[in-house]
């Protein structure tokens, strides 16, 4: 069997929070427990929201907690040429889209909420003349045409997932009108380039996975195994917010050792019974996915000790 290659791929739009660290922890433990390799990728495609110092801070913080990885971290902002090449491979499936965000929202069915829009296909069949005329006043985004196709996969924690791309999202963006690369494209290209075999990440990204699998198929990339982990909540069952300064890493490391922090996270995800200090090698040794619940988990109350 091939060696497991796991990875952690944070978007450094701010300081790392415990939710990110939990994701890194589970991805790391799973890869290392299988004797596999572990990689770090800084997802700074949107370099204005994710400036370089933020990425550097993430790397520093992960090191402070004892994490290690097997290659130099990959920075997405430096990989234009690679994404460009993938775009060329997809050429026959792409078309320019001139819709504005406001137009898209206006055409959206009201029951979908604002988290995911289904693209109505407005620009799908523009003639070459129309494209030329519209390009004079607006630079287009690039969309990938999706067929009426069901994509199925089995998530390592969430179980079987089936989605019809056409109904769930419609044709999706692979390059934005401002030139930034679409997240789906970059993730798939980078995971394949690094030989990633196991993707462990937050359950909030589960809904993007069928699109990524479809891209893998078109680009003839192997599809990795996916494990979408539950969201980490505070001890009172609330979502962790970036503004919650008491749970920021700098604050926490003034009150706890890295091993104590790992203990809180490992306990939240049911890997150990009590929130006691524990080392990464100990956690690697005893790691077992079957203990990790599917639904949201909460930090132990001890995390607020010493405030
Ligand atoms: N960069 C994404 C995030 O921080 C994660 C992407 C992934 O793991 O595929 O939410």
Q: Vertex 162, ends 5 and 220: CA angle to 5°?
A: 45
Count of C-beta atoms within a 10 Å radius of residue 205: 17
> Is the C-beta atom of 86 inside 6 A of ligand 1?
no
State the pairing for strand pair 141-144/172-175. antiparallel
Residue-wise pLDDT tens digits, 26-38 = 999 999 999 999 9
User: What does the pLDDT average to over 102-120?
Assistant: 68
Contact criterion met (CB below 8 Å) for 16 and 10: yes
Among 241, 262, 196, which residue's Cα sits nearest to residue 62?
262
85 is an active site residue: no
Q: What is the rounded distance in angstroms from the CA atom of residue 174 to the CA atom of residue 180?
A: 9
Counting runs of H as helices and runs of E as strands, what totals does the chain give? 11, 12
User: What does the pLDDT average to over 174-185?
Assistant: 96
Among 55, 303, 43, 80, which residue's Cα sits nearest to residue 184?
43
Question: Which pLDDT does position 246 carry in this prediction?
Answer: 72
User: Where in the chain does DSSP place strands (E)?
Assistant: 5-8, 37-42, 74-75, 94-97, 141-144, 150-155, 159-164, 172-175, 198-202, 225-229, 232-233, 297-298
224 Cα: distance to centroid of ligand 1 (angstroms) = 15
130 Cα: distance to centroid of ligand 1 (angstroms) = 36
pLDDT of 113 over the 90 cut: no
* Higher local confidence (pLDDT), 103 or 123: 123
Query: Which atom of ligand 1 is the closest one to the Cα of 201?
Result: 8
Question: Which pLDDT does position 162 carry in this prediction?
Answer: 97
Residue-wise pLDDT tens digits, 203-245 = 999 999 999 999 999 999 999 999 999 999 999 998 887 667 6
> Is the C-beta atom of 9 inside 6 A of ligand 1?
yes
Q: What is the rounded distance in angstroms from the CA atom of residue 307 to the CA atom of residue 290?
A: 34
User: What does the pLDDT average to over 63-80?
Assistant: 97
Q: What is the rounded distance in angstroms from the CA atom of residue 296 to the CA atom of residue 240?
A: 12
Question: Which pLDDT does position 101 carry in this prediction?
Answer: 81
> Is the C-beta atom of 234 inside 6 A of ligand 1?
no
pLDDT of 49 over the 90 cut: yes
């Amino acid at each position: 069997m091939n060696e497991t290659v796991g990875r952690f791929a944070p978007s450094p739009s701010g300081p790392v929070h415990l939710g990110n660290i939990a994701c890194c922890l589970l991805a790391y433990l799973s890869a290392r427990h299988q004797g596999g390799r572990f990689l770090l990728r800084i997802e700074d495609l949107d370099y204005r929201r994710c400036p370089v110092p933020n990425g550097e801070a993430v790397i520093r913080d992960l090191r402070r907690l004892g994490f290690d990885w097997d290659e130099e971290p990959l920075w997405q902002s430096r990989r234009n040429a690679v994404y460009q090449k993938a775009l060329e491979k997809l050429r026959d499936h792409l078309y320019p889209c001139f819709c504005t965000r406001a137009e898209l929202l206006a055409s959206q069915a009201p029951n979908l909420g604002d988290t995911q829009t289904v693209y109505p296909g407005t620009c799908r069949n523009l003639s070459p003349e129309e494209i030329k005329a519209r390009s004079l006043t607006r630079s287009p985004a690039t969309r990938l045409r999706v067929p009426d196709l069901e994509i199925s996969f089995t998530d390592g924690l969430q179980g079987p997932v089936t989605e019809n791309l056409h109904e769930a999202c419609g044709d999706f963006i692979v390059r934005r009108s401002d030139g930034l690369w679409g997240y789906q494209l970059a993730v798939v290209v980078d995971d394949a380039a690094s030989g990633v075999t196991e993707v462990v990440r937050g359950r909030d990204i589960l809904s993007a996975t069928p699109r990524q699998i479809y891209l893998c198929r078109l680009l003839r990339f192997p599809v990795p195994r996916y494990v979408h982990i539950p969201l980490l909540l505070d001890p009172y069952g609330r979502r962790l917010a970036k503004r919650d300064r008491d749970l920021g890493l700098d604050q926490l490391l003034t009150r706890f050792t890295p091993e104590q922090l790992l203990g809180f996270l490992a306990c939240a995800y049911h890997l150990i019974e009590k929130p006691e200090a524990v080392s990464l090698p100990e956690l690697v040794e005893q790691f077992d996915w079957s203990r990790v619940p599917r639904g949201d988990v909460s930090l132990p109350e001890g995390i607020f000790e010493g405030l």
